[in-house]
Structure 1
């Protein structure tokens, strides 16, 4: 199966249970993927290296290396969308999976329709080149000029990102922080959503797709509080926001991604410079400090 632009639509399946592996093959084939099934972590890693999949489903409990270690090794070289599947629904397993680099986490037995909806929602979010999971960065303060014609995949990704953020409304005007020439700025942190570039005190910052999207949403909303439910729906994309209800695992996923984002920023939960937790509700930008823009 290929996209209109000729790109292969490949999914790697890493699952030791033959029945579940066959079910995943059927579900993903019906969704238009060319599937590459594997039964263990090492074979799965090799398949990801060889086939450059858009999506990889990954079991947690497998012989040899487990799903967490498999995810970490895959994430070291590939930006494939990782969906972890496990029979264990403990909160610690969800957190470990997301911390290992998974984009989403589902427990077995899963509903095929929900799995397809989650995958399609991920595909609507902008993808990065297959060489790294990090957002493409630039050191120069000014954004690079846009090419006269963009590849069809990037046009589609940009349109999808615009649709996903349309429900947020325009940025809230502020004398302390806001947008200038397409850049959001706050306390020395700068982000350009169209160029997918982020800088901290003038230096490039290495973020994953999800971290970038969450940070962009908070910068756009300024001091307006964004709930965990709201942010979980944002990550799905507008078309799939109501496809299935937000559950505790979705909210925990947002917490993990926000925690990772805080670590990369070097932010303090007690005296935040950028990300402020509103207990029982969600997150918003911290107050202006007078540092940077």
Structure 2
């Protein structure tokens, strides 16, 4: 496999770039030819590629290779992509892009509710998939215009966010977020007085080239509110701005 590029997630200003010869990708697709096509495109882009064609095998392979990204088909033998994603989220923070042959929006939202970061509906261009994965891996990691405390943390009442270490605490207890959930929270907390539209959050987190249903943002906001015990009617941490989108709350 190619082994030349610096980890694409490192950004200018990082103290130490991650020393990884290649970004690991796990492609889980029961159509062998499709999996090989996707894998071929990723290999050409410098990814270290691992293939799986079965749901149970996919979970085992993920534990074995510790992927950075997972391309996950919804319809799999032995167990479907939703169950695979649920199990992945118990031990992995890899970016997950779910593939589905169904255009029904409900299927998409159900997939995202178990921790997927993005989705593509078949048929799709492998180049589009590669572009989305690259955009994920190059997401900016904002580090502060939010009146941080002396240690650089962002504090909103009982909620503390460490944008550099990518940690979150609520009432001094750590909160486990997916990478995408943290990225959404980081963007909102960087400029807490700004009301972001869905499109602005898409551009900041998923990238300006992302195309799809912007209600993807609502799904991740819902995840954050649930994990932060932030009822939408109270909106201590994430507030809905009618006709606009979302902004950070004070925590009170």
**TM-score for the superposition, normalised by structure 1:** 0.74
Structure 1 stretches of 5 or more lacking a match?
126-159, 173-177
> For this pair of structures, how many residues does the alignment match?
237
82-91 or 207-216, which moves further after superposition? 207-216
CA RMSD of aligned residues (A): 2.1
Higher relative contact order, structure no. (Cα contacts within 8 Å, ≥ 6 residues apart): 1
Deviations 1:145-170, CA, capped at 9 Å, x for gaps: xxxxxxxxxxxxxxx424xx7xxxx7
Q: Which residue pairs with 1:84 in the alignment?
A: 98
Deviation at 1:65, TM superposition (A): 0.8
Q: Which residue pairs with 1:171 in the alignment?
A: 145
Alignment counterpart, residue 44 of structure 2, candidates 23, 30, 46: 30
Q: Which residue pairs with 1:156 in the alignment?
A: none
Deviation at 1:80, TM superposition (A): 2.2
Following the alignment from structure 1 to structure 2, what is the Cα–Cα distance between the partners of residues 6 and 285? 35
Deviation at 1:287, TM superposition (A): 5.3
Which one has the bigger helix percentage?
1
Following the alignment from structure 1 to structure 2, what is the Cα–Cα distance between the partners of residues 198 and 54? 21
Deviation at 1:8, TM superposition (A): 4.3
Structure 1 residues 218, 60: closer, same or farther in 2, change over 3 A? same
Following the alignment from structure 1 to structure 2, what is the Cα–Cα distance between the partners of residues 97 and 47? 20
Q: Which residue pairs with 1:256 in the alignment?
A: 219
Alignment counterpart, residue 124 of structure 1, candidates 130, 135, 138: 138
**TM-score for the superposition, normalised by structure 2:** 0.85
Equivalent residue runs for 1:59-78 within 5 Å: 59-78=73-92
Deviations 1:12-66, CA, capped at 9 Å, x for gaps: 2111112311221221111112322221111211211222222221111122211
Structure 2 stretches of 5 or more lacking a match?
7-18
Q: Which residue pairs with 1:221 in the alignment?
A: 191
Deviations 1:48-99, CA, capped at 9 Å, x for gaps: 1222222221111122211101111122122222111111121111111111
